[in-house]
Structure 1
Amino acid sequence: MRLQPEQLPDRLASTGDPIYLVSGDEPFQLLEAADAIRAAARERGNTAREVFNAGKDFDWSALTAGAATGSLFGDGRLLEVRLDSPRPGEAGARALREWAANPPPDAVLLLTLPKLDRSVQQSKWFRELEAAAVWVPVWPVTGGDLRRWLAARLTARGLEPEEDALTLLAERTEGNLPAAAQEVDRLALIQPPGPLNARDTASVVTDSARFDLFDLGEAALAGEPDRAVRVLEGLREEGTEAPLVLWVLAREARIAAAVAAAARAGEDPGAAADRLGVWKNRRPVVIAAARRLGVRGWRRVLSRLAGVDDSLKGGALRTAWDELLQLALIMAGRTLFPRRPRTGRE
């Protein structure tokens, strides 16, 4: 069973499952989900805990032995396996399949893994494990997802955030989820239950925003020009190298251009995005971006990105940053210099 992180608390409150998988590269949500599972397991009597760090040389027979050996004091057990790779290897896959086929009645298995790509999700060991488990994939929380995430946490603490308050809080904490959670907790401590406006929010929160390169590509493709500018400026202030910014914009532009070209040739855009390896949750954004500029528009963007590359190689760093800003806006759908309508005298 696959659950979103926000669905996990209700599941844990209603029933206990023998196996939990938490995967992803967003550390705060991964830690929070794992902590919730540990707490629920303890409440159900699984007080004996064993932790296995399953690196490259891990001996999977240790897990098999753990399955066969009960607790010395008769307590239920929580066996936690931390994988540093999404692929457990042949021995690991076999051990996990065996556990999924016959989980010990007195034990809960918690697996934490990095992000799982499509090939892992389609592997036999993972399909069999997922069928017997609760799987919670976690993703970076950005853009509109961050606003919803903040709104849900504030509401759970008795606050009713206004839109301006959510906007301010998201801008101050984007890219730094632990700081966002901390600010929510601070607001809940300081502000009384009820409506929460931007002025009250501003008096409490600090500017903790941090960005990574992929936030920029996501904002540009999602058609969010204001956010794209904010992310780009944040990256520049944090000392991100311009060639890396160029790389991420070119990467996203090539994908959008390819989907646009495939759609013009008669291929279904969703099928084209799938063929190009676009993750399912990103496909609507990529398809909308492909339609927004069309084949010719994306080709012009790619041509100008090639010009930025030439500028960087020639040492024109300031010009390159200015051009990257313009291109991020164009990719997001903002026309910088709209054409004036022609008159009869022109």
Structure 2
Amino acid sequence: MSATGQQTTITCDQCYTDVAIPPLSHCQEAFCPKCEHELLSFRKNGHEHSLAFAVSGLFLLLLSLPFNFLIFKSNGQQHSINITDTLNVLIEQDYLSLAVITALAILIIPFIVLLGISVLSLLCIRNQRWPGLRLAYRSVNTLSQWSMAEVFMVGTLVSLIKITSLAEVSYGISFYTFIGFAICLTLALVNYDKNRLGLWLFRNRLPKPKKLTVSGASVSVQRTWALLLVAALLYIPANVLPIMHTELFGRSEPSTIVGGAISLWQSGSYPVAIVILIASVAVPVAKIAILAWLNFTVQHRFSQRRQTRVKFYRFTEAIGRWSMIDVFVVAILVGLIQLGNTISIYPGPAALAFCAVVFVTMVAAITFDSRLIWIDRKTINE
């Protein structure tokens, strides 16, 4: 059985090439012959698998909210938190924006994505097209790249390593259910093939990407430059200012991103220190540099090494959100470690600045039109 039952034509959204795709068999994938972008795949019972993982993820997400997430014990004092407590502490510390960002990234957006996948997969299996289904389809495709539950779990593990020398930490029920939720979310997205589902939704003919015009190309280039300039400026306070303050027996100790990584290295946590340095220092710089290089090449109509450039572009798309690890580390530590003058942790101004760097670079990658790598500017429609 094939994905569509008949040959179909898909326009690659990364190079605007029309590709005729024959019926696919189980585990077969179709790639664009020009830019090697994956266009379609087929797995037997793929919709059933994505539905099962999405429903399981929703159930585990709801289970992870009411119970304890982590329990912190120090000098005879104990403090436990659930995920919503973390958000409440951030709000109490006058970091409402950071609380909103965390809630959106790890709870609200993943919930919408899983709910959308559940509805789309179920109705596709039943071959029922409801009103508003196309809006749900577009919402899942747009929001999935902003879902960061798995990044939050990595940040949680990093935060635990940071505080093992300060006190004893134990895990609550929500910790394990949230891990299960993050795994189910990942598997649901792996089994979710947006083009295959789109072919069913749009009756075997996906809408073509909007044609690129001279004015559209110019706007894309200028907007990307503007966003990269903003990201570069924000990167300075994000690394110079403290990302959190640790109050230990009445004495406040500020910590920057690099300073925190150095402390981890000195304490012997070499792998974690390397992860922080890569995710929070190297990745943002690499994204800004790569996108600037790509924007420069399309602005000056370079035609060389197109395959190499598109691979770099996909790399920036894939790694962008992982820079949020340090922000989530701060959110967990602030929510967990609140024992008055004995030991407490508070967010620093760099947390919001770094958050802005991550988001602006992600938007810059979205704004950059990868078709400019492949399309000769002379052939763009006026």
Return the TM-score normalized by structure 2.
Answer: 0.21
